[in-house]
A and B are shown apart, each in its own frame.
Chain A
């Protein structure tokens, strides 16, 4: 083998291992790009487990409490808030109720479309303190569906819920907050 061939062979080996390394690194790049998107469902799972962010159940829960714990009384407060740009009147009929853990309660919220055109609204709930979110179960909620209202139309919307028997001892007050969004454009 001449010197030239030897040198060429050496260059080929280096190029070979270069492209191997590049391929491995590109795989990492693609995997990490995917991981960024995988964080979206992972985040939901994480919130579910930890109750981070006060996320409550987004579909109807069934009643599973074995008894009513009359020894405890939990204060549940209701707050409503309109996101920017939705001219609805939106408020709880009762500002707060007291419930025993395990007891089913029905409360209602009032909404009126003050605009001159039809609007589809969507209420998004959140519970504070965040750790209590996993212990607050909605059996029936207007937030599970979209709420269309014609101009000047109003409606009373129901929320049926119970507080879990396992609610940590140090939590005596829950705040349920609803933010109302205009989703007319998105749902049309």
Chain B
């Protein structure tokens, strides 16, 4: 790490913010930091390390599935890999990466000096490594890691648990507390620290999506904490929430879990909408088409997410009315989502487009996320869901929305703001290699999974029938290529931190937003005094 002299955050004694006082160097800088940019950096690195960890597990999974039969790992270990891969990618990679973006960008976009609750911000990051140490540590225990799927359905995780349930539950508790603290911080920052003159409808759409996501987190993370607590007492303290023998109901587990689980999937995609809505206008050299409709669409997606959970459970035996209700509500979500997709396309329409790497990832996001959305619509239809349920079609669907959706938006955002974060331009050639390798391999990896699923290949199985062999071979090759391609990104980032072409304050001519009014790299403290009204008006995403 650099030996920057940094300022210790304190609420008193801020006579002159540009002067730095209090020295903190080396590891202590990162342990004690309350600076939103430091914490953002920590979140982003943590997310990337977790992404590589979960990715390594995916590589073993794809190696095992390269050909039929059992080659590399035992079925039980395979189950542990799929479970922990899912948990790590959801709670360790995508969510912390978005929190990292929020930390770095929200104060700069709002013209605020820092997040509203800097001390809590430090806590919410630093408890995360412990959660994942517990989760990953369980691999090395006698019981093995959790093997009941990332959805941890009872009674797999209670009666038939391999003994890892307690570690799993405590890890999830810590992740939940971290997310809730992060979300509270985001809401308080947005509500109280907006620069004077920045009304809610003048906030960048990026801020709006994080605002709504934070509310979703505050609403559903406690429900997750509740359901894992019930799981814990069922497994170890003799309660019968989900145990039919004691008067409980295992299907109720699925209802409570998915009441959390469905809003959770929007927690992982709404911030992606915000990032893409920032980048597409910048490289189309136009304002965002339909800013207000974007805000309302995002809000309605968030509200609808609370009344569609049972579409994950069509095959559990629901009354016809229930199946129809959840089917229609789910299909209704396609309307606001369609509004967003059309708005992005309309933003590009007749714009003067240029294809820098952030734009490439954003356009790929729009197309591939839409494919994932369409397969989601197919899954929403009750009659056909009986065929698709628990097959590779589902795996294809959620990887299209989470990898080519959320992850691609994270890459787009990372390339877009790297010059602001590091003060250097990234290596353009390498970044293009990263994009094209990722784009081709990710489709080779996930597209054939649709066909595998339609043909009946079940998910979460270490072996498969012979007729699936060819497709699985191609999928695995795509998987290895995609995994390797992500190392290019690591190289780009390291090169960019170490040096490269000096970045101007605003490296993208079409970009708008308060973050481009400060120098690159962004000074350790920004907006100690609020930005002038002129800058706020210029940052307004509305069409004029």
Contact = CB atoms under 8 A, between A and B. Distances in A.
B325 to A, nearest CB: 11
Interface stretch (A22-30, A60-68, A95-103, A104-112): A22-30
Which of A4, A17, A28, A36 neighbours the largest number of chain B CB atoms within 10 Å of its CB?
A36
A85 B440 CA distance: 50
A11 B321 CA distance: 55
A87 B230 CA distance: 29
Contacts of B191: 21
A14 B318 contact: no
B226 A124 contact: no
B319 A26 contact: no
Contacts of B245: 83, 122, 124, 181-183, 186
A30 B222 contact: yes
B116 A29 contact: no
Nearest to A58: B247
A71 interface: no
Contacts of A18: 116-117, 188, 192
Interface string A30-73: 11111111011001000100111111001000000000000000
Contact of A183 (B192, B246, B249): B246
Nearest to B318: A52
B244 A11 contact: no
A15 interface: yes
Given A14-B193, A32-B218, A32-B220, A40 B252 contact: yes
B154 to A, nearest CB: 13
A131 interface: yes
B31 interface: no
B226 A21 contact: no
B222 A25 contact: no
Contact of B117 (A22, A58, A182): A22
A175 interface: no
A43 B252 contact: yes
Given A22-B117, A25-B218, A52-B318, A37 B180 contact: no
A36 B255 contact: no
B502 to A, nearest CB: 35
Interface string B487-524: 00000000000000000000000000000000000000
B226 A36 contact: yes
A39 B255 contact: yes
B303 to A, nearest CB: 15
B244 A124 contact: yes
Interface range on chain A (Cβ under 8 Å from partner):
35 or more
A75 B160 CA distance: 36
Given A21-B191, A36-B256, A53-B249, A131 B244 contact: no
B117 A36 contact: no
B193 A22 contact: no
B532 interface: no
A53 B226 CA distance: 22
Contact of B192 (A14, A31, A39): A14
A7 B240 CA distance: 57
Contacts of A11: 11
A38 to B, nearest CB: 9
Contacts of A52: 318-319, 322
Nearest to B322: A52
A53 to B, nearest CB: 6
B256 A39 contact: yes
A124 B248 CA distance: 10
A92 interface: no
A179 interface: yes
B22 interface: no
Interface string A98-135: 00000000000000000000000010100010110000
Contacts of B11: 11, 15
Contacts of A83: 245
Contacts of B159: 84
A37 B322 contact: no
A52 B116 CA distance: 46
B450 to A, nearest CB: 32
A183 B248 CA distance: 13
Contacts of A51: 319
Contacts of B469: none
A83 B245 CA distance: 9
Nearest to B217: A29
B435 to A, nearest CB: 39
B225 A25 contact: no
B251 interface: yes
A36 to B, nearest CB: 3
Interface in B278-333: 317-319, 321-322
B284 to A, nearest CB: 36
B259 interface: yes
Contacts of B188: 18, 21-22, 25
A104 B225 CA distance: 47
B219 interface: yes
A40 B220 contact: no
A182 B220 CA distance: 35
Contact of A29 (B14, B218, B255): B218
Contacts of B251: 53
A135 to B, nearest CB: 14
Contact of B249 (A43, A179, A181): A43
A50 B318 CA distance: 10
A34 B249 CA distance: 19
Contacts of B225: 33, 36
Q: Which 4 A-B pairs have the closest CB atoms?
A: A36-B226, A181-B245, A33-B222, A32-B222
24 contacts: A18-B188, A21-B187, A21-B188, A25-B184, A25-B218, A26-B184, A28-B218, A28-B219, A29-B218, A32-B222, A33-B222, A33-B223, A34-B226, A35-B226, A36-B225, A37-B230, A40-B241, A40-B252, A58-B247, A122-B245, A131-B319, A182-B245, A186-B245, A186-B246
